[in-house]
Amino acid sequence: MKFSLQHDLHCHTYLSSCCADPAMTPEMIYQRAKRQGLTVQCITDHLWDADVPGSSDWYKPQDIAHVEKNKAALASLPKEGPRMCFGCETEYCGGGKLGLAPEHFDRFDWIVIPPNHFHMKNFTRMAEVDTEEKAAELFLQRLEEISRLELPWHKIGIAHLNCRHTFKEGDYAKVFALMDEMRLRAVFEIFASRGAGIELNTSGFADGWEERREEHLRLFRIARDAGCRFYLGSDAHSPEAMEVMQARAARVITLLELTEEQRFQL
Ligand SMILES: [Zn+2]
Ligand SMILES: [Zn+2]
């Protein structure tokens, strides 16, 4: 059966401070999702729980009270159309430091964890990680550490593996090629057995990505062969990014030869 494209499990509202668009309200996201025929739409604003020490200045305002401002808007939406889920995108900084305390896991329907938001120096990445080789090692370590955390795995998404933030000051696609195959296979086998979702983030498959096609697909192929399941995320910070998700995803799904049985279901 064909992999269904009728869901978006990663989308930002105006409550994410990187989202400059006041139109990105839960109501508007719901309307667009409905028009596209989606059955599930998550909102996943950037989150750092005030109960977890060591926030960055950027993350400090993005606490639970802040992102929960959307809960009332979500509750007031019509019950037909796409199922609207309240999620978050938090951070993992290494050494077991996750930006959401375990006692607050149940306040979210869905939790997206990016293993490679390495543009935030001295927060998610130490400054001495300054080459593609070192970024590849850090990325692997982060995946391995996340796989050993105690998490509600049925509602955990591993975000954007081919994100450009992996190494902005260099050749980020090369980072994916440098990562050790055996260790990747082992860590994706753990994610598969835990039941986590692996994200196909269509912001990472923007025009021109196929010039480095094999690098971009490498981790996803290994994850697929390890038995992982996948979901789509627009990572939209604007209405336009919501609109291009399905067309971009269709191409990636074809190249990865994914079927509906390999789709992660929230
Ligand atoms: Zn953002
Ligand atoms: Zn992200």
Sheet bearing 40-46, strands edge to edge: 7-8, 40-46, 83-89, 110-113, 156-158, 197-201, 229-233
**Which ligand approaches the C-alpha of residue 91 most closely?**
2
- Residues with beta carbon < 5 A to ion ligand 2? 114
Q: Measured between alpha carbons, how far is 4 from 261 in angstroms, rounded to an integer?
A: 10
Query: What is the pLDDT, as a whole number, of residue 162?
Result: 98
**How far is the centre of ligand 1, averaged over its atoms, from the C-alpha of 235 (Å)?**
8
Long-range CB pairs of 93-96 (<8 Å, 24+ gap) are: 93/54, 93/123, 93/124, 94/124, 94/138, 94/141, 94/142, 94/145, 95/145, 96/145, 96/149
Threshold 0.85, pTM exceeds: yes
**How far is the centre of ligand 1, averaged over its atoms, from the C-alpha of 195 (Å)?**
25
**How far is the centre of ligand 2, averaged over its atoms, from the C-alpha of 80 (Å)?**
29
**How far is the centre of ligand 1, averaged over its atoms, from the C-alpha of 1 (Å)?**
33
**Which ligand approaches the C-alpha of residue 118 most closely?**
2
**How far is the centre of ligand 1, averaged over its atoms, from the C-alpha of 46 (Å)?**
7
**How far is the centre of ligand 1, averaged over its atoms, from the C-alpha of 89 (Å)?**
9
**Which ligand approaches the C-alpha of residue 14 most closely?**
1
pLDDT 10s digit of each residue in the chain, 266 long? Answer: 999 999 999 999 999 999 989 999 999 999 999 999 999 999 999 999 999 999 999 999 999 999 999 999 999 999 999 999 999 999 999 999 999 999 999 999 999 999 999 999 999 999 999 999 999 999 999 999 999 999 999 999 999 999 999 999 999 999 999 999 999 999 999 999 999 999 999 999 999 999 999 999 999 999 999 999 999 999 999 999 999 999 999 999 999 999 999 999 99
**How far is the centre of ligand 2, averaged over its atoms, from the C-alpha of 11 (Å)?**
10
**Which ligand approaches the C-alpha of residue 157 most closely?**
2
CATH tag for 7-262 (out of 3.50.50.60, 3.30.390.50, 3.40.1190.20, 3.20.20.140): 3.20.20.140
Sequence letter at residue 69: K
Q: Which parts of 164-212 fold into alpha helices (H)?
A: 172-178, 181-194
For the chain, which residues make up each domain, given as ranges? 7-262
**How far is the centre of ligand 1, averaged over its atoms, from the C-alpha of 2 (Å)?**
30
**Which ligand approaches the C-alpha of residue 45 most closely?**
1
Q: Measured between alpha carbons, how far is 97 from 115 in angstroms, rounded to an integer?
A: 12
Token pair listed for 147: 């796989």
**How far is the centre of ligand 2, averaged over its atoms, from the C-alpha of 108 (Å)?**
17
Query: What is the pLDDT, as a whole number, of residue 20?
Result: 83
Longest CA pairwise span in the chain (Å):
51
**How far is the centre of ligand 2, averaged over its atoms, from the C-alpha of 116 (Å)?**
8
**How far is the centre of ligand 1, averaged over its atoms, from the C-alpha of 237 (Å)?**
7
